[in-house]
Amino acid sequence: MRLIRPEDWRPRGINDLEPAAWNALRHAGSACVVAGPGAGKTEFLAQRADYLLETGLCRAPHRVLAISFKTDAANNLASRVRQRCPPEFANRFVSVTFDAFTKSLVDRFLNAIPADWRPTRPYEISFPKRKAIEGFLTLARLSAPPEWQAEIAGYSASDFEPKIVGSYRLPMGPIAPQNAAEFAIARWWATQLRPGQPSALTFVGINRLEELLLRANPHIRRALVATYPFVFVDEFQDTTYAQYDFLLSAFFGGQTVITGVGDDKQRIMVFAGARQDAFQRLQADFGGARFPLLFNFRSSPDLVAIQHVVARALDPNTVPTVAQTARQVDGDVAQVWSSQTKAAEATHLAQWIANDMATRAWPAS
């Protein structure tokens, strides 16, 4: 198993990395690698894994842990590492989803979870529907002390579990509610642990139990840190409150280097409990240095220009990205229009279509 000196290592399977990617790849500490669509975020993680393993920065028996949010993303990243990295190194790259990883730890160490929160073995996986959550919140409100009922009435079925339950750290013993949120959370957990019946856990609940497991058993946390000195988190902007808290309990204050990769201008998973400040938390809690990737390997120059207009609307300080693909179509292929009202937009669009048809001399229908 021959190691390569870090200064001699070169990318595998591609010609080169952009300068910002080189800086992020060689960075010794935690990092926020921020990039838009088409920037090669998955490829960057595959190259960094190869770099860490082949240079011996991650020596056997240590492993690199990569956490994704979807199974196909985890499998895709694992496949790329196998293509770029010799088998004896690639075998120490672990690519899993967040939920699969936390569930595997809960299943393995279930008996070490504090007794008041310990689920049955086996337990069921629960996917409560919106109507069921609405019914639960109604019953919780009606059974709550009068002074807490108004607050519970304001809880939304869509974000009650991901935001309110997901952001609450379980105590070592049962909850003694001191406010409306704790009252509703205690009742929610009662529906999952169900005395006398098999437990029915959601994945938010599993993430919270795993975080409690690590706090209650420091030796398990030490074993986790010793196994994984490097952790990647793909699509970091989708990290939920419960998932980020798990990362914090597992790796904060240790020697583990966290690399969070994603697009900080995406907000599509906020409805599912994604933190809006995930990258800021990584920078503050783990000292993550920020590395914006500036190349776009997927989109044409015209689309890259449009993406920059949208990005600047979200963040005026956004740095322009550089298209790496050639323009293959002549003329105007894309435009950005801004309208104050729907009516103005409709008028402009209709006039543009009429002018375009006249220019092209389309026959009247």
Quick: pLDDT tens for 133-143.
999 999 999 99
Say whether 37 counts as a known binding-site residue. Answer: yes
Question: What token pair was written down for 29?
Answer: 């500490």
- pLDDT of 357: 85
Say whether 42 counts as a known binding-site residue. Answer: yes
Helix (H, G, I), strand (E, B) or coil at 240: strand
| Reported pTM | 0.81
Is it the case that residue 301 has pLDDT exceeding 70? no
Say whether 35 counts as a known binding-site residue. Answer: yes
Of the given ranges (76-80, 164-168, 193-197, 291-295), which has the lowest mean pLDDT? 291-295
Say whether 90 counts as a known binding-site residue. Answer: no
Say whether 39 counts as a known binding-site residue. Answer: yes
Closest of 291, 113, 354, 72 to residue 210, by C-alpha = 113
Quick: pLDDT tens for 305-333.
556 556 555 666 666 565 555 555 666 66
Q: What are the chain's domains?
A: 6-105+217-298 (3.40.50.300), 110-208 (no CATH), 314-359 (no CATH)
Contact 259, 48 (CB under 8 A): yes
Say whether 36 counts as a known binding-site residue. Answer: yes
- The dihedral built from the CA positions of residue 193, 199, 205 and 209, taken in this order, carries a sign that is positive
Closest of 81, 75, 80 to residue 96, by C-alpha = 75
Quick: pLDDT tens for 176-211.
999 999 999 999 999 999 989 999 999 999 999 999
**What is the DSSP code string of 280-332?**
HHHHHHH-PEEEE--EESSS-HHHHHHHHHHHHHH-TTPPPPEE-S---S-S-
Contact 279, 264 (CB under 8 A): yes
